[in-house]
Amino acid sequence: MKVGANLNSIGYGVATPFGSDWKDHINLAILALQERGELKKLENKWWYDRGQCDQGITVDGSSASLNLSKVAGIFYILMGGMIASMIAALGEFLYRSRIEARKANSNSIVGNFAVSHLFRFSVK
């Protein structure tokens, strides 16, 4: 199935190493195929003469189209990766916080938080 017209129609070519002996032979063969109309026949065969795909191909009595249940695994993997990355980021944050707390000569951020809040409540 082809939608719309060609955006650009250019010539054919085959890449060869710089200074290759094959370059001239390949160019002449492509020109000969083009002059005989073989390239146009191949283009028509593969681009224009191919009909649309059959609609409603069924596999085991059900439609072969994609639906959510057939692609749900991709979303499960995506969610698992997101959860794993959040856990890793939280772990990295806690690890860095602990290192910074040790550098500041205190036990931990949680300990400092608890001591400061408990002290505040006990003073009153």
Query: Which tens digit of pLDDT belongs to each residue from 67-104?
Result: 778 888 999 999 999 999 999 999 999 988 888 877 77
Alpha carbons 69 and 88: distance in angstroms, whole number: 29
pLDDT tens digits, 36-69: 999 889 888 887 777 666 655 555 655 667 777 8
Answer with the one of 15, 30, 52 that is the final residue of a domain. 52
- 59 DSSP β-pair partners: 62
> Which residue is associated with the tokens 């951020």?
109
In a domain, 8, yes or no: yes
Domain of residue 113 covers: 66-124
- 58 DSSP β-pair partners: 63
In terms of domains, do 48 and 71 share one?
no
In a domain, 57, yes or no: no
In terms of domains, do 36 and 79 share one?
no
In terms of domains, do 40 and 79 share one?
no
In a domain, 58, yes or no: no
In terms of domains, do 75 and 109 share one?
yes
Q: Using a cut of 0.75, tell me whether the model's pTM lies above it.
A: no
In a domain, 59, yes or no: no
Alpha carbons 30 and 24: distance in angstroms, whole number: 10
In a domain, 20, yes or no: yes
In terms of domains, do 87 and 48 share one?
no
In a domain, 15, yes or no: yes
Alpha carbons 98 and 89: distance in angstroms, whole number: 14
In a domain, 60, yes or no: no
The more confidently predicted of residues 55 and 35 is 35
Q: Which of 13, 9, 32 is nearest to 22 (CA)?
A: 13
CA atoms lying within 13 Å on the CB side of residue 55: 1
Task: Tell me how many domains the chain contains.
Answer: 2
